[in-house]
Structure 1
Amino acid sequence: MGLLSRIIKGQKRHTSHAAVVDTLGKEILSGTLPEGTILPGDQELSERFGVSRTVLREAMKTLAAKCLIEPKSRVGTRVLGTKNCNFFDPDILFWWIQNGVDAEFVRHLHFTRLALEPETAARAAELAGREDANMIYTLACRLAYPDHTRETAVLADLDFHLAIMELSGNPFIRSSADLIEAALAIAYVVNAPTYQAAAISTLTNEYVKIAQAIATNDPIMARQTMSTAIRLSTQYILDALQRRPA
């Protein structure tokens, strides 16, 4: 299940291993388990989660692979915090969103998107053929369908961005798709106006311009318009965060 689908459906992973990983991962990212903390021993953690030591050890290996903890002999398992973790990891992004994001996190994500997506759109414009352009235009217009729910609108938004990433032909860019899913998931969670009628109309206009730039093989326009679309989307999220009660 993708990051955005996990957020929309609110489904928890049901294995004992996943329950341990998700709970401890969220506690580390939230600061409930601060950097430098030594985790309780295997017996205490096994009793807390109701899992065998084998399951617990596998969960610890998963968290260690994500650079969130470090086991040391004669010391115990130390929490590393977030300095070295991979923020492209969908689990890390999922836990951040579940813990509750702030404006600083949204801005970090915004600048990362600005570094990637406008150039991706420009590359897609350079490579696009007629069928590619028609497909992108169809996806751009799909966001404006009048019968959307908030859920279907955010998924239509995702499809548009993912199609451009695929069209760029760059596997490294495609691997960063979780960042886009994270941004759209945040818009969904904070109930940003992104998927309300007026905002959808504004975004659709920008997406159609991107599609037209791709159709005319105009990388400069594709780059500029994608930057505008990302800025609009981010501002909707920041506005929603500002309206939330403290």
Structure 2
Amino acid sequence: MLGAKNRLNRQAWLRVYRKTGLLTAISVVLSIVMTNAIMETFSSGINVAGLMVSIVTPLALGAPAIGLVLYKQEQLRAANTQLQKLASFDWLTGCLNRGAFTAMVSQSLSSGSVSGALLVIDVDHFKSINDNHGHDRGDDALKLIATTLQQTAGENAPLGRLGGEEFGIFLHRLDERGVARMAERLRAAVARLAFVTDGHGCPLSISIGGATFSGQTDFRTLYKMADICLYQAKSAGRDRIALIDAA
């Protein structure tokens, strides 16, 4: 399904083995009980031959059938997990896509995030990278920048690709100074990247527009203000930061 492989990971196989063993054991016990009840009806109870049949039958027939059903269930679980990932993550950079990022930030804002910021980040002169070095190298640059942004911001800061060469990062529980420091760390981290194409170094830089908040707000308001700041940062020469307080 959508290129998904049929191989299961170790955890999935462990679930198959454990459940198969448990259900097979239950089947054996039930088989013994039922066989004994039937044998007591027509004779003095279960004998050695009957006991062996009541054990071997569920082992020989039930275990493979149970294992096959559980294996198929794990395949379906893996396929559903992959579909959920494809629906939420950008195929190129691995970060959240625009819809998933917007939903996550909106949920965080609605749950009462007291302070933080939405940063909108644009890769400077990205079109020239595509034009001069090819779209495949442009893709490599985007993947490198996305990885750098996530490593710098940390796992607790959702990162999304908003479209093209534009990314978004949501910072929560940071005051204005903390947001400014993080934005500068992000800008500096990308500026330090050594991106080489066609044997030559290709400098990379980003412009950042951010809207800080304290109290209740919504994604649309923050994005609109951050986008205005991004335009100001790019108009002022790129490779810089512009922030505004949305409160």
Same fold per TM (> 0.5)?
no
- Select the structure with the greater relative contact order (CA < 8 A; seq sep ≥ 6): 1
Which protein is richer in helix relative to its size? 1
Larger Rg: 2
The two structures have a TM-score, normalised by structure 2, of 0.29
The two structures have a TM-score, normalised by structure 1, of 0.29
